[in-house]
Structure 1
Amino acid sequence: MQRYFLNDHEEFFESDKHHILNVMRFKTDTEVEICGKNGCFLSRLKIVNQEISYEVTKAIKDNPPLNVTILQGLPKGDKIDFIVKSATLFQAKQIIFMPMKRSIAKLSNTEHKILRLEKISKEAAELSKRSTLPKISYISKLEELDLSLYKVLLLDELEEVNTLNQITIKYPNDNILAIIGPEGGIDNIERNKFINLGALPITLGKTILPTEFAHIPLLNAFSSIKY
């Protein structure tokens, strides 16, 4: 069944109005799933003269995100699109992009990029039946975050002791911030800075994953303790 998310004003996005009227060509009383500030509901559409409203039928079981925020070193090219889509599918609560020393891409035109990434995320959230949309943002430096709000993890290819399984057992319900480097990994100066600020280095195993894939096993591990 089709799922739609409401905007901050608890109204349909304009793109969804177009989808309802011109792509799906739904009629009055068509059942859809609608998610807003108060949760997700099975609803019946009401369409009158191209105006769309809805009538709630019943509540739908909640599918909340994980308490995991991904802090991703800014990658190059369209890898950012893949990261947003897959991190949404794997239930990240928030996705933050930040340039790091080995980032090739640069921050520019961020407002336009955020709008595009939000569209990618919204489509993935509808597909995966999430109850909420992840927050997507750019920051220019780590100091823009209040690290005291998180248990900070650093995905570190040099780490050999702290494993992902150990972390999920030790911090199953913490508000997690997972730092992932860009292509080429994290610079030694950055690594020391993160650790000095309280980040706990962890290893995903012997296999070194490309930057755009590193969040997947981490989110999957925390998802496994959700049930």
Structure 2
Amino acid sequence: MIDEELKELLDFKAEQYNNTAFVADDPVLVPHLFTERGDIEVAGFLTAIISWGQRTTIINNAKRLMELMDDSPFDFVMNHTKNDLYLFDDFVHRTLNSTDLKFILRSLQNILRTFGTLETPFTIPFQTEENLYRGIGHFRDLFFGIAHPVRTLKHIPNIEKGSTGKRLNMFLRWMVRNDKKGVDFGIWNQFKPSQLYLPLDVHTANASKKLGLLTRKANDWKAVLEVTLKLRELDPEDPVKYDFALFGLSRFDKI
């Protein structure tokens, strides 16, 4: 049964935070520096992958990545050679170092040269079953389908081993939601917003627990499923709009 009072609160908070004012201090600012689909995809993916830690640091490091690629991320990924990767020799973001980044760029090149977009690898499993869980797993398998450093495996979430997949789910939210509010891009059309999973982090998890949307103590994939199913009851068409509400309630309203 839907708790109408809870739905009213979350709808209000989603509306409050899901607007262009949210962009300035959020990592989504970085892909918003671009207008071409390819640039948005690459900038969005790279920004999402380093989105843990302080938001100011995430934004600054993501902007530095864009500058190192001459502010043409799609063109750089598509056309760089091994000799070009020296540009990233000094790049570090927390535990992600230049070894990780150089592989990530090579893998993105492999995927984009094969498919032309990052969307297709997520959608291939949908030919037999509409399950984004399988799509996320397939993308990761493809990402590490070329020779890779073992250390880099930890930087692409593995939901099949229980990870929340927060960074991939956030990237998918950016690409898929198309509500025209000025935050998410909605440039992918092979998915429905109803299929998305909540990008569960410490803020959205804490708010979810305090509001009774989440009972599981561990922040893992089972927790993502539990809270996402509750959010789908509140809005079956666009459950992940409540990411804004839950994040804002914890981060700004301090519930």
Normalised by the length of structure 2, the TM-score is 0.23
- Larger strand proportion, structure 1 or 2? 1
- Larger helix proportion, structure 1 or 2? 2
